[in-house]
């Protein structure tokens, strides 16, 4: 059976994850989760939510390529975005990332800056399985993959990681606009 491929129109918005809640993300954390692309398109704009920022807080949205069912090479990450109070919705334009139907991509981002943590819109995990099978599988109810030693430029490739599990844990939710 052939994989389902949707058609996206210019200007459409989508999110690889449909549910979100506010969650604490410690500075230095990089959180991502996989998505099997349901269509081919080019991303022109990325939007994310920081529900409450702290003075000096920054967030770096990121898209990683898949490498053997793990986050691999960095595809895209802009300069850090200031998310100091009061928080809200943030947009990064001029993205220009090609997404190919059927491929796995890792979406999320990193908390940086002088604040100890930020609250971001995180994907919601209610103990469901990842959409891809990982080698040497971590816990089945894993919500995201975390790297805890990140500052400055995001790592390329992703490098060592830790699984995150539990209800309410997840990776930052990104919204993508079709070019």
Name the CA dihedral angle for 102, 157, 137, 30, rounded to a multiple of 10 degrees.
-100
Q: Model confidence over 90-102: pLDDT tens digits?
A: 999 999 999 999 9
Q: How much is the pLDDT for 78?
A: 96
Mean pLDDT within 74-99: 91
**Burial tier of 160 (Cβ tally within 10 Å: 0-12, 13-18, 19+):** exposed
Backbone angles phi, psi at 138, to 5 degrees: -75, -170
Tokens of 36: 């099997």
Q: What's the number of CA atoms in the CB half-sphere (13 Å) around residue 5?
A: 11
Q: Is the pLDDT of residue 172 over 80?
A: yes
- Tell me what pLDDT residue 5 has: 60
- Residue 65 or residue 117, greater confidence: 65
Q: What is the mean pLDDT of the chain?
A: 80
- At residue 43, the pLDDT reads 96
Residue 34, strand partner residues = 106
| Distance from C-alpha of 125 to C-alpha of 82, rounded to nearest angstrom | 27
State in words which class domain 13-178 has: mainly beta
Q: pTM for the full model?
A: 0.85
Give me the mean pLDDT over the 74-93 stretch: 90
Q: Pick the most confident of 24-33, 46-55, 57-66.
A: 57-66
Query: Hey, where are the domains in the chain?
Result: 13-178
Collapse the DSSP code of 177 into the 3-class scheme (helix H, G, I; strand E, B; otherwise coil) and give the result. strand
**82 closest CA partner among 107, 109, 50:** 50
What's the pLDDT at 19? 57
């Amino acid at each position: 059976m052939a994989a389902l491929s949707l058609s996206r129109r210019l200007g459409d918005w989508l999110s690889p994850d449909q549910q979100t809640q506010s969650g604490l993300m410690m500075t230095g954390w990089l959180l991502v989760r996989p998505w099997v692309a349901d269509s081919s398109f080019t991303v022109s704009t990325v939007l994310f939510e920081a529900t409450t920022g702290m003075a000096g807080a920054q967030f770096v949205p990121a898209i990683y390529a898949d490498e053997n069912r793990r986050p691999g090479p960095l595809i895209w990450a802009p300069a850090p975005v200031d998310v100091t109070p009061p928080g809200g919705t943030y947009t990064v334009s001029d993205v220009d990332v090609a997404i190919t139907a059927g491929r796995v991509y890792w979406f999320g981002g990193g908390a940086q800056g002088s604040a100890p943590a930020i609250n971001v819109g995180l994907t919601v995990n209610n103990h469901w399985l990842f959409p891809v099978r990982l080698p040497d599988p971590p816990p089945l109810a894993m919500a995201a993959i975390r790297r805890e030693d990140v500052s400055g430029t995001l790592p390329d490739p992703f490098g060592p990681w830790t699984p995150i599990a539990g209800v309410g844990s997840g990776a930052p939710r990104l919204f993508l606009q079709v070019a």
